[in-house]
Structure 1
Amino acid sequence: MTVKTKTPPLKEKLVVDSTMLEMPFPAEVLAEAEQTARQGAALIEAEAPKRRDFRGLPTFTIDPARAKDFDDALSVRLLPPGADGRPTYEIGVHIADVAFYVRPGTALDNEARKRATSIYLVDRVIPMLPPALSDDLCSLKPNEDRLAFSAVFTLDDQANILNEWFGRTVIRSSRRFTYEEVEKITLAGEGEYFAELHILKTLAGCLDQKKIRAGALAFEEDEYLFEVDAEGKPISIIKEERMVSHKLVEDFMLLANRQVAAHVSKLVKHRDHAFVYRIHDAPNPDKMNDFINFIKLFGYRQFNGQRKLTPQILNAWLKTLAGKPEEDILNDAAVRAMSRAAYSTKNIGHFGLAFKHYTHFTSPIRRYPDVLVHRLLDYYLRGQRLPEGWLAELDELCVKAGEREQFATVAERDSIKLAQCRYLEEHQGKVFDGVVAWMADFGLFIEELSTGARGLARFRNLPKDYYLFDEKKMVVSGKRTKKTFRLGDQVKIRLLSADPVSRLIDFEVVLD
């Protein structure tokens, strides 16, 4: 679940260790960041002549409306037709050159290592880098010269790679788009930079289809927009639909991440412990069997006797869930059945994306592994020997980055649960639509459909009867009325209570 929000802060504490979450930047780190930011214009002016210059090309960022840290920008240039007469395009994926400003051994770098990731809570962001860098000097803001590390591709009209180039650049974003603006322009067929956006949309569609045909998993993640009032209380939670503009950006970021990893792997002759990869192993067979048994409880038995559940078969099934009440529950179960992605210096590929090589190159403002990737890529491109000790510490840095990533995930999920409780506590007695997500011998766990919040309807809060729980069949039935509840059943629920402190939500099932 991804969250977008309006501020200010929620007051209740998160369940994670607040001393590790609320980490103010040390004075020396802030001083270093502010000094670097003050020198920013001069540093860019001195560095620009040494770099490939993209400032004359149509270049833009596409981000959420409330974003401040613009990691990535895209440039588009129409090239002469290829030898076969087909259109060709130069697409630049330009990433903020954080590594130029954050140097090894500095206070800034030591702090970024420790944090390893920005943490996106409902009401605020806890950044990896001080705002002077994350929201200003490093951010690819419109109409300002910025240093970037770029992956530039020559593509034909089917998104086949004809040529690629990697290196440090200087860019100037022409426009800061929101996802909604891009969606509106591409649907209307007219508007600012329509021609460039149409090219990107078409090529992204080709990249996506290639990925799916290769066996990439097509999971869709829920996104919720939390709006809060001046006191920091959520006043609305809106489930947002995933737009084509989201996929447009995602597919080009995936392309850059994949090709950077493949290029470096070739440069280091495919040896281990020389680069930071983002890996994803095939799912554990036992976990997949558990998943198959779980979806049977919802009445889905088409995988019975399936010798191997391939990504193509799973994708086809996931498509059939679209619009059904149990869609989010089963999509989430499928994700949890997968192995966890990780950072590693040993490449085993990325199962979920069906890529033989993959890394994280595109978000150095918010992820420290991306900073490491930029540093390593720069040395390998220049054919220079790495500083002594760099490779020896890569494995440890991968482990630490993974630990901080998991910490951030726990904090972000708890932040969402807290915001859901704070919103729902103002709607006690209101009737909502829900779906039965799980059950036990004391009640039904129900997901409220408009907010994604999950709570408990105890047997005493079901329509009056004596209820029996059949654990094997996962069915709850009333002894007198024979009323049954199964996983995936859509129900009407009345909110009894929502406690932000305990994060517990209680529902009552009501008859239509």
Structure 2
Amino acid sequence: MKNGKKKEKKYFFTTGTINITNYGYAFVHVEGIQKDIFIPKDKINRSLEGDLVKIKFKKNKVKPKGEVLKIIKRNKKKFIGILKINPQHYYNNSTLDISNKMQIICICNNVSILIPKNKSKKYKHDDKVLVEITRWPKKNKNPIGRIIKVFGKIGIYKTEIHSLLEEYEISNKFSHKIKDEAKKIFSKGFINFKEKQNRKDMRSINTFTIDPIDAKDFDDAISIRKIEKKIWEIGIHISDVTHYLKENSIIDKEAYIRTSSIYLMGKVIPMLPNILSDELCSLQPEIDKLSFSLILNINERGNILKSWIGKTIIRSNKKFTYNEVQKIIDKKKGKFYKEINILYYLSRKLIKKRLKNGSLYLDRIETKFQLNEKNDPISIDLEKNKSAHSLIEEFMLLTNQKISEFISKKSNNNNKYNQPPSIYRIHDKPDHEKILYLKQIIKPLGYSLDLKNIKSSINHLLLQIKGKPEQHMIENFVLRSMSKAKYSTKNIGHYGLSFIHYTHFTSPIRRYSDIITHRLLQNYLMNNKKKIKSIDFYEKKLQHCSNQERIILDIEREFFKYMQIKFAKIFLQEKEFDGVITGFNEWSIYIDLIPYHIEGMIKLRNIKEDCYTFNSNGFNIIGKDYKNIYFVGDKIKVKIIDVDLEKKYVILDWINK
């Protein structure tokens, strides 16, 4: 240092969207900087989750640190929160502007909004509400607001569903106008003679649906008949929704906004009105139904000899559940045993080919809750992906692949008309840093990854962990290392499936992307160039579908987490559990409860056997006195000691390794 003066660190100024954690501190993502800028709790300067903010920060390789200088644009003024009556009993008054004239409503991410007492008399303690910020005086630490809507007491099934849908601006109901239009479509839904004449008639061929036991909308059916020795005709029949759903009609526009049906435990928020999704379009048994079909001739090796795509009329003979088909496969007898057995045999051939071609094979366990009359979870089922599931899944994957190949070929032949190349479901290569992180996570557990052959190495890893306590945890890390699939007119292939061409075609009752594909396919089949839109048109539609898909996944995950927390409450102080460590931060350890795959948390300071500190590499903690080291994936014993429905935490007690 010259002249004894310290060299001042240079500040940088930029803008970004702020993400506030449950602990009160925040991060701002800045383009061009690898790590997000850390904002301490006392430097967020009245910013709220999602606000566009101006910040100043110092560059630091370990943790760039900054502060909010200005809020450029508020993300929103309405928030979902929990009302607290007489908050003095729950909070330290010195941190809040509480007076005799105020009540308080607590908002997620540690934001608290004050409600005037004369405006909150009719509300109850622990009501979940929608509140709007009306003003934020400069002298106040907290904003002042008003209650717009009450959802009910926190933790109640209806309260959690309605507040969650409100938060994501999803409508739970259809308007009277849309319901009336759906009734008109239903009333005109009979199949006339001309329509039957224009379609391939498949009604004489054995056809059935295979779905979950609680399914009401049947998108797909499958038919099978023997053509000659060791050659079968397989028909994959998809509901012809676009025959009834006219483009740019009010129901079509509503379906586009919704983009997909939302499946919550005990409730479905459908993309289409029930009279269409569950009745008119649904491929119910013993009723003539209109479908869009892929007909394949397949030999005993699973090779496709011939294919046809077009409009059909079908009549399903039987509505099977997955469990019913599984029993037929296992016991080798039952209705349509011969047909189901051939389909199962061919599906195994298709799986083998797909895996040989480099497809990833995640054999996930699905968690389902049994609910009582109040829709509270009372028991849990961990369902493995059985043969009946994979049978249907393989034929749906094959259909989506073949439809994409057909459209792509047709569009490439017509590029002079400036038509879109196709509609693709694409999946990029995994992020290299995430794969390296996965490799480091699994190393202490005795597993490895070959970075030169990632796919085959991951498949080998998935086979190695099958049935092990760490299986669920490692599978989750594998999924996190993968890129997110999305829709696009630009094809880069599907990395996870190892398909060059792939689209979504098989679920038009519950996915709008499939409706777009149906319409484009029909225009190509009819050579109707005038109805095929520009690339920009399709790209805009597909971006919307991709964005909405992520939002709907967030809703379903968040509600599932609520169900897990509610279920965990049953076991308060009841017994010990085996758990697997899934992660760390500076204050906590996260544990997956092996029997139920529910994640809980233990504060480091609450572990009595030693004083543990977090290793900054993110993979382990170490004890100060006894030097015990715990890694991600280690198995320990824990007990559930508390459940926080507000913050959706399961609080655990550490027993031993």
TM-score normalized by the length of structure 1: 0.92
Shift of the 392–464 alpha-carbon distance from structure 1 to 2, 3 Å rule, reads closer
Equivalent position to 1:136, from 274, 279, 293: 279
Task: State whether residues 441 and 632 of structure 2, in contact with CA within 8 Å, keep that contact through their aligned partners in structure 1.
Answer: no
Task: State whether residues 422 and 499 of structure 1, in contact with CA within 8 Å, keep that contact through their aligned partners in structure 2.
Answer: no
SS at match of 1:169: strand
1:162 and 2:305 matched:
yes
Tell which deviates more after alignment, 255-264 or 489-498. 489-498
Task: State whether residues 604 and 613 of structure 2, in contact with CA within 8 Å, keep that contact through their aligned partners in structure 1.
Answer: no
User: What is aligned with 2:423?
Assistant: 276
1:315 and 2:459 matched:
yes
1:424 and 2:568 matched:
yes
User: What is aligned with 2:636?
Assistant: 491
Shift of the 134–348 alpha-carbon distance from structure 1 to 2, 3 Å rule, reads same
Equivalent position to 2:500, from 351, 356, 367: 356
CA deviation map 1:294-326 (0-9, x unaligned): 3235443x33xx452331222112110101111
| Structure 1 CA distance for aligned equivalents of residues 470 and 192 of structure 2 | 52
Equivalent position to 1:202, from 339, 345, 348: 345
Task: State whether residues 44 and 145 of structure 1, in contact with CA within 8 Å, keep that contact through their aligned partners in structure 2.
Answer: no
Structure 2 counterparts to residues 179-190 of structure 1, below 5 A:
179-190=322-333
| Structure 2 CA distance for aligned equivalents of residues 323 and 463 of structure 1 | 31
Task: State whether residues 238 and 450 of structure 1, in contact with CA within 8 Å, keep that contact through their aligned partners in structure 2.
Answer: no
Letter in 2 for 1:78: K
Task: State whether residues 427 and 484 of structure 2, in contact with CA within 8 Å, keep that contact through their aligned partners in structure 1.
Answer: yes
User: What is aligned with 1:240?
Assistant: 383
1:249 and 2:396 matched:
no
User: What is aligned with 2:257?
Assistant: 114
1:127 and 2:279 matched:
no
User: What is aligned with 2:471?
Assistant: 327
Structure 2 counterparts to residues 12-161 of structure 1, below 5 A:
12=160, 17-18=166-167, 20-40=169-189, 42-43=190-191, 46-81=194-229, 87-161=230-304
User: What is aligned with 1:377?
Assistant: 521
Structure 2 counterparts to residues 225-236 of structure 1, below 5 A:
225-236=368-379
The count of residues paired between Structure 1 and Structure 2 equals 496
User: What is aligned with 1:11?
Assistant: 159
CA drift of 1:487 comes to 1.6
CA RMSD, aligned part only?
A: 1.9
Shift of the 259–473 alpha-carbon distance from structure 1 to 2, 3 Å rule, reads closer
CA deviation map 1:175-219 (0-9, x unaligned): 111111111101111111000000000100001111000000111
SS at match of 1:164: strand
Task: State whether residues 274 and 345 of structure 1, in contact with CA within 8 Å, keep that contact through their aligned partners in structure 2.
Answer: yes
SS at match of 2:440: helix
SS at match of 1:386: helix
User: What is aligned with 2:63?
Assistant: none
| Structure 1 CA distance for aligned equivalents of residues 277 and 587 of structure 2 | 48
User: What is aligned with 1:288?
Assistant: 435
User: What is aligned with 1:344?
Assistant: 488
SS at match of 1:21: coil
CA drift of 1:290 comes to 2.6
| Structure 2 CA distance for aligned equivalents of residues 162 and 440 of structure 1 | 55
CA deviation map 1:339-375 (0-9, x unaligned): 1111011122111111110000100001001011111
Q: Indicate the percent of aligned positions where both proteins have the same amino acid.
A: 35
Letter in 2 for 1:245: A
| Structure 2 CA distance for aligned equivalents of residues 172 and 511 of structure 1 | 60
Q: Which structure has the bigger radius of gyration?
A: 2
Task: State whether residues 363 and 370 of structure 1, in contact with CA within 8 Å, keep that contact through their aligned partners in structure 2.
Answer: yes
| Structure 2 CA distance for aligned equivalents of residues 92 and 269 of structure 1 | 26
SS at match of 1:348: coil
| Structure 2 CA distance for aligned equivalents of residues 474 and 250 of structure 1 | 36
Shift of the 44–496 alpha-carbon distance from structure 1 to 2, 3 Å rule, reads farther
CA drift of 1:474 comes to 3.0
User: What is aligned with 1:5?
Assistant: none
Task: State whether residues 447 and 454 of structure 1, in contact with CA within 8 Å, keep that contact through their aligned partners in structure 2.
Answer: yes
Letter in 2 for 1:372: I
Equivalent position to 2:593, from 421, 431, 448: 448
Task: State whether residues 226 and 236 of structure 1, in contact with CA within 8 Å, keep that contact through their aligned partners in structure 2.
Answer: yes
User: What is aligned with 1:4?
Assistant: none
Tell which deviates more after alignment, 191-200 or 233-242. 233-242
SS at match of 1:55: coil
Larger fraction in helix: 1
| Structure 1 CA distance for aligned equivalents of residues 341 and 586 of structure 2 | 54
Task: State whether residues 165 and 171 of structure 2, in contact with CA within 8 Å, keep that contact through their aligned partners in structure 1.
Answer: no
| Structure 1 CA distance for aligned equivalents of residues 504 and 302 of structure 2 | 21
| Structure 1 CA distance for aligned equivalents of residues 170 and 562 of structure 2 | 16
The unaligned stretches of length 5 or more in structure 2 are 1-155
User: What is aligned with 1:398?
Assistant: 542
CA drift of 1:466 comes to 2.1
Shift of the 217–388 alpha-carbon distance from structure 1 to 2, 3 Å rule, reads closer
User: What is aligned with 2:91?
Assistant: none
| Structure 2 CA distance for aligned equivalents of residues 400 and 198 of structure 1 | 41
Letter in 2 for 1:115: R
| Structure 2 CA distance for aligned equivalents of residues 16 and 130 of structure 1 | 17
